[in-house]
Amino acid sequence: MQSVISGSAWVLTASDGELINDVDTDMIFHNRHLHITDVAQMGQHALGNLAGWQDFAMRVRPGDIVIAGANLGCGSSRQQAVDCFRSLGIAAVVAVSFGAIYFRNAVNTGWPVLACPTLTTAAVATGDEVEIEWPRGQWRNVTRKAELPPLKPVSAVQLEIMRAGGLFAMRPS
């Protein structure tokens, strides 16, 4: 995995322009699609149950970065809520915070989910180009030529899993 990720931002905001908090796993990947077992087919349903974001899967491009409010992925332990983003080629997700199980599912797959506790919409908007140096906990808004609030440090275990490409890809020590 590359230590620097860059892509276009998709900032999950409500009609009032504020970050959307408490986006649960059913909003990310609705339970009516749980019969889909092929990860490659899951992406087309990403955010299909989140008001105002139903067409996200048709607009996002591989390498883009999703940015969200607090408690992203709360709710069930639905792995599909991680896999649908991965299926679309989303490079990373940055949120104020994550639901505990969602975070663990993402880390276990080696997918970068990064917390930024002081993130606001003043820092980044949809369409801005961002660059993340995730091992260092730093990121910047390339479009605005501005540093963004610090990311929560990645733990040594998370770093090891991400560099291995997921928990199952790790070799026993």
- Annotate 3-61 with DSSP letters as a single string: SEEEEEEEE-B-TTSSBPP--BHHHHS-GGGTT---HHHHGGGTTTTSTT-TTHHHH--
For the CA atoms of the chain, what is the radius of gyration? Answer: 15
Q: Please give the pLDDT value at position 1.
A: 67
First CA to last CA distance, the chain: 20
Domains of the chain from N-terminus onward: 4-169 (3.20.19.10)
Question: Does 115 have pLDDT greater than 70?
Answer: yes
159: left (phi over 0), alpha (psi -120 to 50) or beta: alpha
Instruction: Label residue 136 by pLDDT band (50, 70, 90).
Output: confident
Q: Please give the pLDDT value at position 54.
A: 96
Question: Does 112 have pLDDT greater than 70?
Answer: yes
CA distance 150 to 16: 25
Residue 156: partners with Cβ closer than 8 Å, 6 or more residues away? none
CA distance 33 to 42: 8
Q: Please give the pLDDT value at position 18.
A: 96
Q: Which residue has the higher pLDDT, 158 or 72?
A: 72
State which amino acid sits at residue 146: A
Q: Please give the pLDDT value at position 173.
A: 61
Question: Does 126 have pLDDT greater than 90?
Answer: yes
Mean predicted lDDT score pLDDT of the chain = 94
pLDDT digits (tens, 9 = 90+) for 56-108: 999 999 999 999 999 999 998 899 999 999 999 999 999 999 999 999 999 99
Q: Could you give the maximum distance between any two Cα atoms of the chain, in Å?
A: 50
pTM: 0.94
Question: Does 163 have pLDDT greater than 90?
Answer: no
Question: Does 170 have pLDDT greater than 90?
Answer: no
CA distance 67 to 50: 14
